[in-house]
Amino acid sequence: MRDRLGEFGNDAAIALITFAEADNSAPYRSRMDLPFPMLVDTARETYRSYGLERGSFRRIWGPKTAKRYIEIFRANGISRPGRPTEDTLQLGGNFVIDRRGTITYAFRGRGPDERPDVGELINAIQDAGP
């Protein structure tokens, strides 16, 4: 995503929302050097208001997840990840909101392996821009 950040347009606001405690998110922020703000929602009220639920243990920790993590660790050179300290069943998602405050794109992953393509997000934000 970082490589294609310019394609989102200078006008777009991008925010990452996490439910991790600040102490846990700090190493991630440092490693990722995020070019946009990280919002902290430890109570997960925002997750609930956007309809992001907890997944089933079987779905979250099944073979598709193992495959996905292997891909990530290969790409990032991480050989031994730390033990998760947060709720690993919480699902993520992506939303695009237009200039008037209306949701124009919604993606709710059912597991860690389900994420939208960056091109799909770029198209969604460009469509929301006019």
Residue among 7, 59, 62, 108 that touches another protein (CB under 8 A): 108
Q: For residues 20-33, b (16+ Cβ closer than 10 Å) or e, as one string?
A: beeeebeeeeeeee
Cβ–Cβ < 8 Å for 20, 28: yes
Residue among 2, 3, 6, 11 that touches another protein (CB under 8 A): 11
Residue among 66, 67, 81, 119 that touches another protein (CB under 8 A): 81
φ, ψ for residue 31, nearest 5 deg: -70, -40
Residue 97 parent element (H or E) = strand 93-97
Residue among 62, 64, 95, 110 that touches another protein (CB under 8 A): 95
Residue 54's Cβ-side half-sphere holds a number of Cα atoms within 13 Å equal to: 10
Query: What x/- string results for residues 41 through 80 when contact with another protein is judged by CB under 8 A?
Result: x----xxxxxxxx---------------------------
Residue among 56, 71, 74, 86 that touches another protein (CB under 8 A): 86
Concatenate the DSSP letters of all residues of 80-93 into one string. SPPPP-S-TTB--E
Q: Tell me which residues touch another protein (CB under 8 A).
A: 8-9, 11-20, 22, 24-26, 28-29, 37-41, 46-53, 81-88, 90-106, 108-109, 112, 121, 124-125, 128-129
